[in-house]
Amino acid sequence: MTRKAHDSRAANKAMAAFFIAAALFLSLMNPAHSAAKRASTPSSDTTRHVPTIEDLMNLKSAGGTQISPDRTKVAYTVTETDFEQDAYVTQIWLADVATGRALQLTRGKKSSSGPGWSPDGRWLAFTSSRADDKSQIFVISPDGGEAIQLTKVETGVQGFEWSPDGKIIAFAASDPESKESKDRKDYYGDYEVVRKEYRHTHLWTMDVAEALKTPQPGKRRTSGKDYTVGGFYWSPDGMKIAFDAAVNPDLINDGTSDIYILDLAGDSVKKIVSQPGPDSSPYWSPDGHSIVFSSAMGKTDYFVRNGRLAVVPAEGGAVRSLTDAFDEDPYAVCWNGDGIYFSAQQKTAAHLFRLDPASLRIARITGPDDAMLGGFSFSNDGKRLAFMSASPTAINEVFVSDLPFNPRILTRMTDQMSGFILGTREVISWKSKDGTVIEGVLIKPADFDPARKYALLCVIHGGPTGVDRPALLSGDTRTYPSDIWAARGALILKVNYRGSAGYGEKFRMLNHRNLGVGDAWDVLSGIESLVAKGWVDPGRVGCMGWSQGGYISAFLTASSRAFKAISVGAGISNWATYYYNTDITPFTIQYLGADPVTDPAIYAKTSPMTYIKNAATPTLIQHGEFDKRVPIPNAFELRQGLVDRGVPVEMVVYKGYGHGITKPKSVRGAAEHNLAWFNHYIFGDPKPDLSAPPLPEKVADKAPEKVAKLSKEWSSFHKSDGKILLFEIPVLFTEVRKVLRKLPGYPYFALGSP
């Protein structure tokens, strides 16, 4: 086809589509049509519906709060699903503290995240891969306008911090591929010597004034193969940077992380903390004399123990633990004139605390007791903070508060769910087999009747040091659509089994050398407690989970017959297989106490495959193709063990993914697979064929009937003589544009901006 013929055909398509659009737009503006539509719309009470998987995935979520230095504005991020490019896209918004008015600052197909204010509040910096698909630093005025690219780093930027005077930005970036490596690849082809070849991460700085003129590659400040940089923080005088660094980027060496000081005057580096276990996340004291940081305090079994906040003189010296009396993991937020602020979990709640480094007195400054708060940031004067908070009736919202604590909401993200029928959420507790008190989150149908027996689905979190909270839709919008099952007549129990975070070190260590076994006690006893209440039909119980939750589900499918169906997501089936293949071997040693050769008995005790001869539960196995955390041989081993026993099993491999599924289309697939699996075995729906799922009819296939309908409505419009309600036009315009996007001819035409 010639270019001229192509252009002519495109023009014809555009013209035809334009008339279709015009017909639709005018027909929608027909007053008789509008009046009829309004009259037929039921009240808000009767228009509520059970959300679909698509509904849940299309919900927007807020995060990343950063209050401005002058405390008048809060920057935050909003993430939404973009099925068209199969990505989750994050953009930066700005809320005015006084009025609550929100403004979207960044736009586009690529995400913008990690907002950070310049000290004078003139700029808001962020990272985005909008330039050459590599993460770079940009700045934008809080008044709006075009973003300005500041960096042009070959390998992309991993994180950044403004200097106290706002003239310099420090950032981390990994080393580029060396010439020697490129030459080797060119001659011998591409290969890797396992755990010997790494690209280390180092610190760079950039002059902001120069970068505002043209993007800068930055000035290298650290180098070499002795360490790889993690977190970093400027000294109050802007002359030094404290940072943590491990010996290399390999996750098995996380425990080697220590604290260093970079003197910018000559780029000299001094290690000031060197002890076993990880030391990380340094923060300077206001006077610049001390540094607080997270520490294992020399313990090498740090996976199963509480971390501490510790302090060390900025010049080096004795390390002093500050939080021995606090029985949870504290995470430093800032150190100002009032003390050290840190966040921590308290069972299913999460709060902000203040620590006096002299007296070691700790005070909780947020409330109420069951609040679920996070993402704290402070204004320059330390008198106001921004944060995120969720509740059983609200998803994460942005809040501000002056001190003493008096929170005020700035966003209304929960309004998105006003038309949904959702379950209720509450925390319950029971005693496990060994007498340990276990908590869990129970989701009930909106119309729960205590006299009725319900199906029960257990959803088990990962970790094991994760935790489930009674926050609305927390973890329920993707792989496991709890509220859809609740609306169908199921209770959902999320078990905070032994080892979960928030319950203290003793509780965390209860599954030390007892993984799977004790976890199974906790799940099964939770089921029994609900059966005893008369709420659950024991013949309709299912279980599912991802990662550690997948492992516990695998353990239950092999060792228990209490379930009608189970779904194992990225779960361990054999601890020896896991140990020899995973990217975090220290995790296994710390929890089980030895390697498989030294102590084969503990590996047998805790491995699902040991009990596979007892398996009888239909099992769905879900796994990422390139999972390094729980390598896929675990899934194949479990599948074959079930096949050998004649147990119904399906295994789905999600192509191109590691330990998590990170793109919307595949997340939709995983959720639909779970929905179909449990709908069949728990609710009696037809057995699904996961290889040939039902597909929606494409909009383009309906184009001819749309044209006929629009022509009819066009004719109808000409016979009307009413008036248009002007306030409806923007809404109608948006609806028209949605249709146009899906009709032949788009994007050759458009009504308004796309």
pTM score, whole prediction = 0.87
CA distance 608 to 586: 20
What is the pLDDT at residue 47?
86
Distances (CA, A) of 482 to 622, 675, 681: 18, 9, 16
Contact at 8 Å (CB) between 358 and 365? no
* Buried b / exposed e along 630-662 (16+ C-beta atoms within 10 A): bbbbbbbbbbebbeeeebebbbbbbeebbbbbe
* Buried b / exposed e along 139-159 (16+ C-beta atoms within 10 A): bbebeeeebbbbbbbeebbeb
DSSP β-ladder status, 565-569 and 619-624: parallel
Q: Among 38-52, 197-211, 286-300, 634-648, which is the least confidently predicted range?
A: 38-52
User: DSSP character for 726?
Assistant: G
CA distance 602 to 514: 8
Mean pLDDT of the chain: 89
Q: What is the mean pLDDT of residues 366-390?
A: 98
Give the number of other CB atoms < 10 A from CB of residue 222.
22
Question: Got the DSSP string for 505-566?
Answer: HHHHGGGTTTTTHHHHHHHHHHHHHHHHTT-EEEEEEEEEEETHHHHHHHHHHHH----SEE
What is the pLDDT at residue 699?
53
User: DSSP character for 699?
Assistant: G
Taking each continuous run of H as one helix and of E as one strand, the counts in the chain are: 16, 36
What is the pLDDT at residue 701?
56
CA distance 629 to 578: 8
387-428 pLDDT tens trace: 999 999 999 999 999 999 999 999 999 999 999 999 999 999
CA distance 234 to 245: 15
Tokens coding 154: 């070959």
318-329 pLDDT tens trace: 999 999 999 999
Tokens coding 312: 């060390």
Q: What is the mean pLDDT of residues 35-44?
A: 32
Establish whether the linkage from the previous residue to 249 is cis, with ω within 30° of 0: no
Instruction: Look at residues 605, 618, 616, 519 and name the one whose alpha carbon lies nearest to residue 561.
Output: 616
Question: Angle of helix 633-644 relative to helix 548-559, nearest 10 degrees?
Answer: 20
Q: How confident is the model at residue 517 (pLDDT cuts 50, 70, 90)?
A: very high
Q: How confident is the model at residue 490 (pLDDT cuts 50, 70, 90)?
A: very high
Q: Specify the 3-state DSSP secondary structure of 600.
A: helix
CA distance 76 to 412: 13
Contact at 8 Å (CB) between 271 and 251? no
Instruction: Look at residues 519, 434, 511, 424 and name the one whose alpha carbon lies nearest to residue 473.
Output: 424
Q: What is the mean pLDDT of residues 217-229?
A: 98
Per-domain residue ranges for the chain?
Answer: 3-53+704-742, 421-681
Residue showing tokens 């199969």: 86
User: Which carries the bigger pLDDT value, residue 39 or residue 529?
Assistant: 529
Q: What is the mean pLDDT of residues 446-472?
A: 97
Tell how far CA 398 is from the center of its chain. 17
Instruction: Look at residues 91, 141, 73, 104 and name the one whose alpha carbon lies nearest to residue 410.
Output: 73
Q: Among 19-28, 244-253, 302-311, which is the least confidently predicted range?
A: 19-28
Question: Residue 499 pLDDT > 60, yes or no?
Answer: yes
The CATH architecture one would assign to domain 421-681 is: 3-Layer(aba) Sandwich (3.40)
Q: Among 287-301, 303-317, 666-680, 711-725, which is the least confidently predicted range?
A: 711-725
